[in-house]
Amino acid sequence: MIVMTDEPSKLKKDQRRESILNSAIKVMSEKGFEATTMREIAKEEGISETLLYRFFKNKLEVLFGIMQSKMIETMHSFEEFVETTKVMIPDPRTSLPLICKLMKNKFKENKELITLLSKERHKLREHFKEMRMSTHHEGMPRFGKIIMEKMKGLQIEDALVEYFDRCKKAGNLKEELNTKSVTKIFLNLIFSPFPLLPMMNPMKQFPDESMIDDLLETQIQIFLYGILPDEKK
């Protein structure tokens, strides 16, 4: 049973603020920003609305707090994925399962924020505009620009095209295949169970991990059969 209280808990102020943001991400990832209320965030956190409003004046401030606290960290996480892909062995039989496993772990680590971003991807610019108008954060315009630039700058597709180019050069990809087309198919294949980028169709719930493993393993085997030269199958 969740007990509401107006009294600060034993958590320090910064710890409570971070805990509230984690609760807010959980609620917003399930319901979306518009459908979430401050009351629901307070209930999830186990505090009263009165205490919640001591930390955040409204939902926009909560969303801004989420972006400040979590967004850059998540972007860096996927930038690490891109850099790792660039040094993968150019043999799909060896490296594609590793790429899928790495991507799955990135989704798992950031699933609630990723789900929230997927739900709100068409409204992010509008949210940033509203934040600038309704808050007094001097760094808001610059921060919003940084976030949008980082989202556009996630060069996952470019890194994979370069990877498949190296695979073709090493004789581990059918010569007649276009690496950009192969990349797009691969992205749709590995992202289909996940809510991540604007190019993907978001799911309402994050899939069960065992289902993801089974699905990815099957899809990778089918994909490999289609891209490997006959002598490498």
Q: What is the pLDDT of residues 160-179, one digit of tens each?
A: 999 999 999 999 999 999 99
**Local mean pLDDT, 10-residue blocks, the chain (233 residues):** 47 88 93 94 95 92 85 80 91 92 82 80 74 58 61 76 96 96 87 48 52 79 93 81
CA distance linking residue 76 with residue 78, whole number of Å: 5
pLDDT of 105 reads 83
Q: What is the 3-state secondary structure (H, E, C) of the chain?
A: CCCCCCCCCCCCHHHHHHHHHHHHHHHHHHHCCCCCCHHHHHHHHCCCHHHHHHHCCCHHHHHHHHHHHHHHHHHHHHHHHHHHHHCCCCCHHHHHHHHHHHHHHHHHHCHHHHHHHHHHCCCHHHHHHHHHHHCCCCCHHHHHHHHHHHHHHCCHHHHHHHHHHHHHHCCCCCCCCCHHHHHHHHHHHHHCCCCCCCCCCCCCCCCCHHHHHHHHHHHHHHHHHHHCCHHHC
pTM of the predicted structure, to 2 decimals: 0.64
| Residue 38 near residue 53 (C-beta atoms within 8 A) | yes
Nearest to 143 by CA among 82, 196, 70: 70
pLDDT of 165 reads 97
| Residue 194 near residue 113 (C-beta atoms within 8 A) | no
| Residue 196 near residue 107 (C-beta atoms within 8 A) | yes
